[in-house]
Amino acid sequence: MSKKNPYADLIRDVCRFVEDHSDEALTLAELASRAAMSRFHFARTFKAVVGVTPKQYLASVRLSKLKNGLGTGVPIDRAAQDAGYGSTSRIYEQAASSLGMTPAQYRRAGEGVAISYASLPTPLGLMMIGATDRGICFVGFGDSSQALLLRLHAEYPKANIDPMREPYHADFRAWIAAISQHLAGESLRPDLPLDVAATAFQLRVWKYLQSIPPGDVQSYGEVAAAIGVPNGARAVAQACARNPAAVLIPCHRVIRGSGQLGGYRWGAARKRSLIDAERAAKARTPRDSAVRN
């Protein structure tokens, strides 16, 4: 169990400032000054508390505002200005990779985005992996390929979703092998490219979850406090429930404050098995356990 960072409240206030002024040209020096810290100390402390750098956090806030604007039908240039982007070209340069699609595609709920998928047996049951040309956008477990495919379509309702053609691309084969080895308890969490869209808050939660060492667990309240939202345990639980990439975003490492496992999108038994597999892998590779995955 982790202790609350002593600077968590201060960093939380800076996060609120960023959210309120994301349309301005904020600098690291300005944010550090608000926290009464040197730029170096502020940058390190901010990442320790939030899980991402100040620059990444500002980008996530702007992306969230852009998505909200596009979702309400605001013209792209107006949505870009309101979100803090200098021009629409900067959206395509900076935001497209985070959206997993262009702004126009996002407005159409992913229409035109190509997703390939494949299913394979694992120690935890059938697993489906979905991927775009930028990375993995979906990892889920279920009892049938049909049920998992329905979930994939629910995540990306207007994307073009088709089976991965065989022979699989070399990168896709490597991703499958890395996840399979992890599920078998043979390796720690694989560091694979993700292509998932997220709100600013979801990004904070998901990034922080990736910093929890394999085999360790924290409560929803501890995660909320660590990212500067001490009363946000329920919101953390909701962000975990919306995680589209099981294992790679390790929401299974978050439990109830009582010590009970709590809910898990893919079933409590799988949550227990994932934790046990990570602890087994950690026990076999003690040196690796000290490496932040």
> Catalytic site residues?
251
Residue reference for tokens 């009582």: 258
Q: Which residues contact 237 (CB under 8 A, 6 or more apart)?
A: 220, 254, 262, 263
Q: How far apart are CA 242 and CA 244, in angstroms?
A: 6
The amino acid present at 152, given as its one-letter code, is L
Surface-to-core class of residue 15, CB atoms within 10 Å of its CB (0-12 exposed, 13-18 middle, 19+ buried): buried
Q: How far apart are CA 6 and CA 62, in angstroms?
A: 27
Q: How distant, in Å, are the alpha carbons of 9, 154, 215, 227, 230 from that of 12?
A: 5, 33, 28, 8, 10
Helix (H, G, I), strand (E, B) or coil at 131: strand
Q: How far apart are CA 202 and CA 185, in angstroms?
A: 27
Q: How far apart are CA 56 and CA 231, in angstroms?
A: 23
Q: How far is CA 77 from the centre of its chain?
A: 27
Q: Minimal CA–CA distance to 266: which of 186, 135, 147?
A: 147
Q: How far apart are CA 209 and CA 189, in angstroms?
A: 12
**Beta-strand relationship, 136-142 and 254-255:** unpaired
